[in-house]
Amino acid sequence: MALSEQLCDKRCFVEVVAIYLMGEAPQRPVAVEKDLFGRSAFNRFYYAAYLTVRAALLAGLGECPKSHSDVPDFLLGKVSRGLTQGEQRARRVSDTELAKLCSRARTSARELAEILKEGYSVRVTADYFPEVPVIFEANGEFGLNTVHISKARSWPPKADAMCKSICIAWRQANA
Amino acid sequence: MLNSDELKVYLENLGIAVEGTIIEDVSKASGYLVFVTVTRDTNNLQQPTNRKLHAIRNELAQEGTHVEFMLKNSYALDIEAGLRATLLHHHIDAIRNVFFSADKKGAHVWIEPKRKFTEEETVDVTRRSTVYLASLDLNLVTLRTTIDENLPTKFVCLKMIRQMSPIHIESLMAQLVAADFTVPSVDWLLRRIDSIRRSGLLVRLSNGSYVLSLEGLRSLGTTKNRRSPDIARLLALARRNA
Q: Which helix H or strand E contains B70, and what residues bound it?
A: strand B66-72
Helix (H) or strand (E) holding A122: helix A96-128
Which has more pLDDT, B25 or B202? Answer: B202
Q: Which tens digit of pLDDT belongs to each residue from A148-165? A: 998 899 899 899 989 988
State the Cα–Cα distance between residues A64 and A56, nearest whole angstrom: 9
pLDDT of residue A3: 64
- Give the pLDDT confidence of A73-125 residue by residue, as tens digits: 999 999 999 999 999 999 999 999 899 889 989 989 999 999 999 999 999 99
More confident residue, A4 or B112: B112
Q: What is the mean pLDDT of residues B41-56?
A: 82
Work out the average pLDDT over B158-168. 90
Amino acid sitting at position A51: L
Q: Where are the domains of chain B?
A: 4-72, 75-145, 154-241
pLDDT interval class at B164 (50, 70, 90): confident
Instruction: Please give the model's pTM, rounded to 2 decimal places.
Output: 0.78
Cβ-nearest to A146 among B35, B101, B108: B35
| Distance in angstroms (rounded) separating the CA atoms of residues A102 and A85 | 9
Could you report the per-residue pLDDT of B98-113, keeping only the tens digit for each?
888 777 778 888 888 8
Residues of B in contact with A132 (CB under 8 A): 20-21, 23
State how far residue B144 is from chain A, nearest Cα, in angstroms: 9
Q: Do B144 and A165 touch (CB under 8 A)?
A: yes
Tell if the CB–CB gap between B21 and A125 is shorter than 8 Å: yes
**Which of A121, A147, A174 is most worth mutating to test chain B (most B CB atoms within 10 A of its CB)?**
A121
Chain B residue numbers with beta carbons less than 8 Å from the beta carbon of A160 are 112, 146
**In what helix (H) or strand (E) does residue A96 lie, and over which residues does it extend?**
helix A96-128
A171 to B150: CB separation less than 8 angstroms, yes or no:
yes
Whether residue B156 is predicted with pLDDT greater than 80 in this model: the reply is yes
Fold adopted by B154-241: Arc Repressor Mutant, subunit A (1.10.10)
CB-based burial label for B105 (10 Å; 0-12, 13-18, 19+)? exposed
Q: Please indicate whether, in this complex, the C-beta atoms of B23 and A125 are within 8 angstroms of each other.
A: yes
Topology classification of domain B4-72: GMP Synthetase; Chain A, domain 3 (3.30.300)
The distance in angstroms from the start CA to the end CA of chain B is 65
Predicted confidence at residue B226, as pLDDT, reads 76
**pLDDT confidence of A8, banded at 50, 70, 90?**
low
Q: Three-state SS for B72?
A: strand
For residue A157, say if its preceding peptide bond is cis, omega within 30 degrees of 0: no
Residue A167 confidence class, pLDDT cut points 50, 70, 90: very high
Domains B4-72 and B75-145 share a fold: yes
Size of interface A-B (CB pairs under 8 A): 119
**CATH number listed for the domain at residues B75-145:** 3.30.300.30
The 3-state DSSP class for residue A2 equals: coil
Distance, in angstroms, between B216 CA and closest chain A CA? 7
Nearest Cα of chain A lies from the Cα of B208 at a distance, in angstroms, of: 23
| CB pair distance less than 8 Å for B153 and A101 | yes
Chain A nearest CA to B49, separation (Å): 16
List, in order, residues 6 or more apart from A57 with CB less than 8 Å away: A63, A64, A71, A74, A79, A163, A166, A167
Q: Looking at residue B10, what is its pLDDT?
A: 92
* Residue B30, pLDDT above cutoff 70: no
Q: pLDDT tier at A128 (50, 70, 90 boundaries)?
A: very high
Closest C-alpha to A172, from A112, A113, A85, A111 = A85
DSSP annotation of B146 reads -
Give the least confident one: A70-74, A102-106, B230-234: B230-234
Contact A107 B103 (CB under 8 A): yes
